[in-house]
Every structure is written in C-alpha cells, then in structure tokens.
C-alpha cells in the first residue's frame, strides 16, 4: 500500500492551556460568568468577522439555534427537510409543533435535492430546512429560487459548514438564517456550543431576547423564550480556538489528501473530491462502499475497522425517516428517498482530526486498503 505524503504539523493546532488559564483568571476577576458577558460579546464579534457574516448570536449548543430560528421566523405547518442528517435537524421542527416533510438528496453532495422540493410543497408548507452535509454546500441558488416563488423561509442547518465559502462568499449568508454547531467533534469548537447567523440587527435583537427567556429588561418578557446563552468560560475557550482554526483546517486538508491518494485505486471505494470554487473545512471524510466491487459490505468493513480499534462512523445511518418517531410519515418511504437510503446504507466516515499522526493515518488506511 502506498500512503506517500507524510504530514508534519508545524503550527499549534490546539488552544494553549496556559493562555486559557489566564483567560479564566480574567473571567473570575470580572465576576461575570454568564448572561452576555464581555467574552461572549467578543466572541460574537470575532466570529462575525472571521465568517464574513453580518450578525452572530451565540448559543450553549447547536440544537437550540435550530429551535430558536423556527421560533423567530414564526414557522408553522410543514417544513420540507432532508432525512440525511443528525436527528436534531428534524427534532427542532417537531418541537416547534411543525410537521417535517422529507425529500430526497442529491447524491453528488448529500444535501437536499432542489428538483424534489416543489413536488413536496402544499398549502401548509412555510419553510425549507436544508443541511450542508459534511460541510458540502447545498445548491443554495436553486433552493432560494423555489423559496421566493412560493413565499417560503429558508433555514440552513450549517452545523458542519464552519468557514465554508463559495467563490469567496460565506455559505452562511444563504437563506434567512443559518445555524452552527460548536460541539467538540467539529473543526471549530467551544467544547459544546452553537450559533445562529442572521442578516439584520432587528433579527439579532429578537434572537438575543429569545435565547434569554424572552427578557428585554429586568421586568419585561416579550416572548416565550428559552435559556440558550453561552457562558463566559466556553466563550473564552472559543476565542482561543479561533486563533488556530485556519491551521486546523489546513491540517485536515492534508489528511484528506492522504486519504484520497491511498483510496483512489481501491475498487469499490468511492469518495468526494473538493468542489471547484469552494473553501472546504474538511469536517468529515465519508467513503462509500460498493459491496459487489469491494468484496465486503459497508457493515463488514465498519466492524472490521472497529475490531482493529479504528472508530469510523456510519454517519448518517439510519436515516432520520427510519426512526420510530418519523417512520410513519408519508414522506418517509424508501420509494420517496432512494438516494438517501443508498447513501445511508453505504457510507462510513473515516476518522478525521487535525492532530492525526502519520501512524494514525496509516493504521486507518491499513483497515480499508486491501
């Protein structure tokens, strides 16, 4: 097996623990550890600048922005979405008293297929919630054209899309709002956290009120909000992590290059190359197993890797539409979602991180390359 290019990490890729200690002292000395403190405000401003977006509102996890976006836009009725995502996407629709309607995915990106959206629109449809799967951009222009035609809102689940750009423009500027996850597994994290991206100051203020129980002052509540605020400690960690995120993305890029070099000759294993004009963040590296050509099923390979101590992930398997909560929906049938079912049945995401060593990478590839 040829694993060719060696990776040498020369940039710091993790927050400096001593510097974090100093920031924790500052938090302590400020005597302000939550409720829109100085670190919270600094991180919102820093993220807006880095991500090239107008406004950012921080949350304590990546699910609350989805819930709050639906609330802020007063979404009701039916929301068209994808079954190929993490369950939080659809749960947020259900928790807001709306009905998810699944449509199939584009096999070239894993994202929602715009050609399937119009047939799913009914008089009850009020919004579309696509997902930038693995950070690969959806066909945002086509989706927006449909939304404009039918007067629908568009909320992007961009949990995987931190820093992703198309022709120099942040993918987070698409639609009415975009949500982010800063979970520890993401390329940029605040240990646990998330954010909501919006386009104007009025919406930013409404979001900020909703994530703080609906308070607009000490004694005034204007809406049934929620407790979604990010605390000062995670905000401080996030500021440190932002300093090395570019180095982390480039290190992951090198891992992706290494994977592609080794896997391209392997019959029965396919993967995606970079999309032209797109700045990717290399959050994940999915491969797709053709059992007939490869000689093993996806599950056989997955458990073989697991036996070797290599933890790939069948991400996303099973489809959201297969869970008991949603399988009874008319849109959940296999006939309605052929591409989504095929992808869910063949995918394994290989381990991807910016501090994977050459030894780690070789060990992973040895499990796949026969």
Residue 161 has pLDDT above 90, yes or no: yes
Higher local confidence (pLDDT), 18 or 45: 45
- What pLDDT sits at residue 110? 98
Residue 264 has pLDDT above 60, yes or no: yes
- What pLDDT sits at residue 54? 98
* Share of the chain residues as helix, strand and coil, in percent rounded to the nearest 5: 40, 15, 45
In the block, residue with structure tokens 């990776």: 7
Whole-number CA gyration radius for the chain: 21
* Average pLDDT for 113-142: 98
Residue 14 has pLDDT above 80, yes or no: no
Residue 9 has pLDDT above 60, yes or no: no
pLDDT digit string, tens, across residues 317-365: 999 999 999 999 999 999 999 999 999 999 999 999 999 999 999 999 9
Q: What span, in angstroms and rounded, lies between the C-alpha atoms of 138 and 111?
A: 5
* Average pLDDT for 219-246: 94
Chain Cα centroid distance, residue 97 = 23
* Average pLDDT for 152-166: 98
**pTM for the complete prediction?**
0.94
What's the pLDDT band for 287 if we cut at 50, 70, 90?
Answer: very high
* Average pLDDT for 264-282: 98
Average pLDDT, the chain: 95
Q: Which residues fall within 8 angstroms of residue 164, CB to CB, at 6 or more apart? A: 132, 135, 137, 158, 170, 171, 172, 278, 279, 280, 281
- What pLDDT sits at residue 10? 39
Q: 54: burial class by Cβ within 10 Å (0-12, 13-18, 19+)?
A: middle
Residue 5 has pLDDT above 60, yes or no: no
Residue 297 has pLDDT above 70, yes or no: yes
Residue 7 has pLDDT above 50, yes or no: no
- What pLDDT sits at residue 205? 96
- What pLDDT sits at residue 15? 75
**Going from the N-terminus, what domains does the chain have, and what CATH number goes with each?**
17-243 (3.40.640.10), 245-368 (3.90.1150.10)
Residue 160 has pLDDT above 90, yes or no: yes
* Average pLDDT for 74-92: 98
- What pLDDT sits at residue 93? 98
Whether residue 210 contacts residue 68, with contact meaning beta carbons closer than 8 Å, is answered with yes
Chain Cα centroid distance, residue 80 = 18
Residue 16 has pLDDT above 90, yes or no: no
Residue 8 has pLDDT above 50, yes or no: no
Residue 11 has pLDDT above 80, yes or no: no
- What pLDDT sits at residue 12? 58
């Amino acid at each position: 097996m040829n694993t060719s290019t060696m990776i040498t990490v020369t940039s710091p890729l993790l927050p400096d623990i001593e510097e974090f200690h100093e920031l924790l002292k500052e938090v302590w000395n400020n005597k302000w550890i939550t409720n829109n403190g100085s670190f919270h405000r600094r991180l919102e401003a820093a993220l807006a600048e880095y991500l090239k977006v107008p406004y950012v509102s921080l949350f304590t996890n990546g699910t609350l922005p989805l819930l709050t976006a639906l609330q802020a836009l007063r979404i009701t009725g039916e929301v068209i979405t994808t079954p190929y995502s993490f369950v939080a996407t659809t749960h947020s629709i259900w928790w807001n008293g709306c009905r998810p309607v699944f449509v199939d995915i584009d096999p070239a990106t894993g994202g929602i297929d715009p050609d399937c959206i119009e047939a799913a629109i009914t008089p009850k449809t009020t919004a579309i919630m696509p997902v930038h799967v693995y950070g690969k951009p959806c066909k945002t222009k086509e989706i927006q054209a449909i939304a404009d035609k039918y007067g629908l809102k568009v909320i992007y689940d961009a949990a995987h899309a931190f820093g992703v750009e198309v022709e120099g423009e942040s993918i987070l500027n698409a639609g009415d709002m975009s949500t982010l996850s800063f979970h520890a597994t993401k390329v940029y994290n605040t240990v646990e956290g998330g954010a909501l991206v919006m386009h104007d100051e009025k919406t930013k203020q409404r979001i900020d009120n909703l994530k703080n129980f609906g308070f607009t002052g000490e004694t005034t509540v204007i809406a049934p909000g929620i407790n979604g605020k990010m605390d000062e400690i995670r905000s401080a960690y996030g500021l440190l992590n932002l300093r090395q995120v570019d180095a982390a993305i480039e290190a992951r890029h090198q891992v992706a290059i290494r994977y592609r070099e080794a896997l391209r000759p392997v019959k029965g294993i396919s993967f995606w190359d970079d999309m032209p004009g797109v700045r990717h963040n290399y959050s994940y590296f999915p491969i797709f197993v053709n059992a007939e050509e490869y000689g093993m099923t996806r599950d056989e390979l997955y458990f073989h890797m697991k036996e070797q101590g290599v933890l790939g992930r069948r991400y996303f398997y099973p489809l959201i539409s297969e869970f008991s909560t949603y399988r009874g929906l008319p849109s959940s049938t296999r006939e309605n979602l052929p591409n989504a079912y095929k992808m869910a049945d063949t995918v394994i995401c290989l381990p991807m991180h910016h501090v994977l060593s050459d030894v780690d990478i070789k060990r992973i590839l040895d499990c796949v390359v026969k």
